Structure formats: C-alpha cells, structure tokens
Structure 1
Amino acid sequence: MNILDRKEAAKLVKKLKSEGKTVVFTNGCFDILHVGHLRYLQEAKELGDILIVGVNSDKSVSKLKGPTRPINTQNDRAEMLVGLKPVDYTVIFTEDTPVEIINELKPSIHVKGGDYKKEELPETPIVEKNGGKVIILSLIQGKSTTNIVKKIQEN
C-alpha cells in the first residue's frame, strides 16, 4: 500500500528528486471525500510527477475541527486518498500544521487551496528555505466536508 511513514516518505522524496522528478505535496484532513477534494488533487497532480498527501492524524483533526470530528479514521482517510487516481502516496502527520513534515520531506512544490494566502501560511518560509515553491490553487466554491456534515445533521 502507498501509505508511508515519515521516514519512508522522506527517503522516497529524496530519491525521486535525485532522479529529476518534481514532487508535489499537499495536506489536509480529507474527512469525507467530495468532488472539491478530487478537483483540488487533480490540479495539484498536474504540477508535478508525484503527488504526496499529508493526512492530519485523528488527534489533530479533533483539535482543528472540534470533538465530533473526524468522521473517518486517519487510516481510512489515508487509504481512500491513495485510491484516487491523482494521489501517489499518503503520509499521516500529528502536528496541527504541516511545517515539520514539510521540513522532513522537502517537496519541490507545496500546494494549498484558494482559501489560503501564500504569505500567511506558516509553512511558506520552510518550503522556500528548502528550495521549493508554494502554489495556491484555484478555490472550489461551496464544496466542503463541513457543509456536508451540516446537511446530514439538518436531515
């Protein structure tokens, strides 16, 4: 399976970059997959050769989204993501931000969704220090796990 631990992921990125490959990294909770996630991941994959997705651990999702989340476990979320065509590998991380894992992996490109500003991301300085670049993708309006959860609760 293409779910890596941090050490495996760091080793793989180093190897791929030494072969001249462009490694794209993104991260998120990806709690209930929806079309917004798919479009975002497809756009991210188009920027390079390999797409690695950092998946927030269950503990960090609860901290970020509240005590009723995540809906799906970290292992289930990671497995669902590697089942998607654009995703080559996933790696679970426990911190609230991806700064530490990005510093370990040193991807060529780090991508975030259109609801973020490059200058405000805590990870931007570390990506650039390691020779990578940060790219903000287009915003996919109205597609979010939070909206799906609300809709379920209302029904």
Structure 2
Amino acid sequence: MSIVCLVGPSDSGKTTLAESLVDALGDYGRVATIKSIHHDIEIDTPGKDTYRHREAGADTVVGLTPSLSFQITPGGKEATGEQALLESTVDSLRAEGYEFVLIEGFHDAPYPKIEVGERADTEPPIVASGSLDSLDVEQLAASIADGTLFEGLE
C-alpha cells in the first residue's frame, strides 16, 4: 500500500490536490483518504436515530443508507493520541485492501509528503513540493502508483 501525506499551509490547495490525485490514482487501484481536522464537528444530526443511539451510550454506531455507510466511534485524536489514531486508521485501510492512502494534513507524520506551498515545520521525508499549479497530478499519480516517488526511502 502506498501512503502519502499532502501538507502545506491553510488555503494552499491541499484539498484540490487530493481531489485530483484521488481521480488520477483511481485508474491504478482503490484509494482511501484521511483528513486531519483540527476542531470538533458534528457529523451526525442531533435528534436523529444514530445520534440518539450514540447519546444513549453505544460504543460504536454504524449507519447504512442506500448509497453510503458510516461508523461513529468515540476516541478521537485527544483520547487516543494523534499519531496512534493515524496508525490504527492506516492499518485498518491496509487490512481492507486499499492500494493508496492520501492523508491531508499530519505534517509531522512519518509518511512521505507532498508539500503544497511552504510550511516551515514539515517533518521529512518530503518527496515532492511546489505550488498547486506547478505540481503535475498525472505524473505524481503515476510515480505514486509505480513507487518511483518513494525511491530511496526506507
């Protein structure tokens, strides 16, 4: 499984790059994404059944709709630790057979990074960098798919 973080300052184009890479990598295999969110959001609708199940104390709530499924489990970054939660999420995606995982954010994760714009505190390894306009999405996708983007890394 190939894993790469998309990092950079706010509004640098990370999400736009992620959208383009998801589309391009889809030609090579299954793609999953992970997004670091720095504030709590409500992903469930207060008063609706799944919300009520969660409020009643269910350890995990799974919702199955005609077109989507979702799982809500307590234990975000604060409870579990950011790196530990990222690792367990990556492990789950690996077990599910994804070929590619794009992680938006997590500039200090140990994974290879594509840096969009400049960020002074990005931890290595940085395998590509540039502005959103200067990064060739098709070339990046091909080099992620064939592993050449990661050559020389352990």
* Fold shared, TM-score > 0.5 on shorter chain: no
TM-score computed with the length of structure 2 as normaliser: 0.28
Structure with greater helix percent? 1
Q: Bigger relative contact order, structure 1 or 2, given CA contacts below 8 A and separation 6+?
A: 2
Larger Rg: 2
TM-score, length-scaled by structure 1:
0.28
